[in-house]
Structure 1
Amino acid sequence: MEGREMIVTALDSPPFVIMGRELPDGGAEGNTGTDYLFVEAMARTLNFTFRTIQPEDCNYGYPQPDGNVTGMIGLVARREANVALGGIAVNDKRDTVIDYVYPYMDAPLCVYSRSPKQKSQALAVLSPFTREVKVSNDRASGPWLKVLWDAVESFMDRGSVYSGTLTAVLAIPAYEKPIDSLDDLPKAVADGFTIGVVRDSTNEYVFKILTEKFVFLIDDIEFIIAAERLGGRRKFNYGHECFYPQGAAFPVPSGAPYREIFSKLTLRLVAGGFYKKWEADAIWNYTRGSEVEAAEESETNALTLTHLQGKTWVMRVNEKREGEPADVVKDVG
């Protein structure tokens, strides 16, 4: 491959490929990203040059029923490009028209959904009480609202156990239960959520999470970047369970004579820790702004009048009950 020019097909797909752009000061940034750094390292080692092209349809590509092959995979299959970049998943359909070099990454699927919504705190003043306390009816002491009001009044004293518990409840907001694992999916479907996987545009499916009741199964790296494009990761819930690791590798034309040497170099770069370093740097550079925003939004909230609505409600209803005839009050339960 000494002195040869290679044709590389790539699409802007951070952190794998980050296309160059013009800077406000009139300068320019060159192409970068994990896959791009891979090819640069190979070019230095094998002493070849390369230039980058993009497919006209701007797709990754698949073999079609009519025999046509779209996107970057099509360019490689027709030998119009020597290699494709972009975190391209290894799968059986693509394998019928191209070959892969040694996989450099395993990307498991994870469960992603919208961030749990904050629960109403209008009755938060009552939250430290158990359900039994809330519904009890001590006839010896009067109607339950009166008992509850007396309890709130006494427990609000400084230094009481209730006071400390209430402060913690009100200062730290409560949220809906998140969709975190495969075990949570049946309940999510019963609650009206749709389960989706990637077909064409990752951004389209990630956007659905924000606008519909939608749960997305996708690899973690691809989702992180897509979420950044749609306003930041803080808007989404990242499931704790991942499954079905799927390899990513560089597609090359079937029978390409350089496939073996590319595989050996890929294995060396992965084993030497270069890929993980490039990946961490690329993700950090792309997402560091939202990390600061998320940290700022995670601070505890100040108490507002909303938090005290529960106490006011108990007081007003209790006053109304005290004005009713004794036989009516007695039967309230």
Structure 2
Amino acid sequence: MASVVFMGFVAYVLSVASVSYQEDGTKRESLQVYAFNMFRNIVSQGNMMIVSKWSQRFLFYSWYLFCLVVSALYSGMLTAVLAIPAYETPINFLEDLPRAVKDGYTLSVMADSTNEYLFKEATEGIYKQIWPLFNHKDRPESFVSSPVIGMKRILERKYVYMGPYLVSRVIAMQMGDRKFYFGRQKFFPQDVGIAVPQGAPYKKIFDQKLLSMVEGGLIAKWQEDEVRKIPQTTSGQDESGSKISALTLTHLQAAMYTAAIGYVVAGVSLIIEKTVHFSFEIKDA
């Protein structure tokens, strides 16, 4: 918008400067008319003004090129943004992992953990299908020594870490919960038991109370309460380095150079026109 106003002002100044030697009776328009026509050009609505002086023509030519470059950049940027999906296809289930590997993702679990054992010792089904998809040539790449390493790698590249849900949630809250996506499927659930002496008379009471706590949702509530106590990082996914950005002056350098060249050529043409006009007036006198 600033370029439209500035260009309208420059065109108006040129018309005022050339009025002293205009002999064809061309009407000099107001500043508002020039600014409005500059706006029509940049939104591809054409130009309703007719100019007779070469200085004004050069100025309009450069403005047309400026509008063409800006329009092409904006259209290309808009097309690029619309062509990119807002979100990648999520990985929600174990059945999605083969497709994720084809898309360049690396699968990982804790080294020497029950999760590794689950995939390694599977004899059939989806677990057996997934085991060859791990990076066995570079074992530390797929079998990490701690959950923190696996979660950090998710932020660095295409990476899938499969580990204990609560531990992963805690780490995600510390690093920025919105930076991570947790799949909907929870597989290989593990229960935590309380060991008591064989034949203990209070075992049945423990079983009843613990079962009531689980079925009543107290365990899940306590888990969420503990997660909320963790200091959260508020940074979101928009800080992860999006490759699509708004147009800046760096992108518009070509258009700016074109407009600047047009200003120079128009100014030189104005000086030449005035010089030629006054030289003919002197000869006539």
TM-score by length of 1: 0.34
Looking at secondary structure, tell me which structure has more strand per residue: 1
Looking at secondary structure, tell me which structure has more helix per residue: 2
Which of these two proteins has the greater Rg computed from alpha carbons? 2
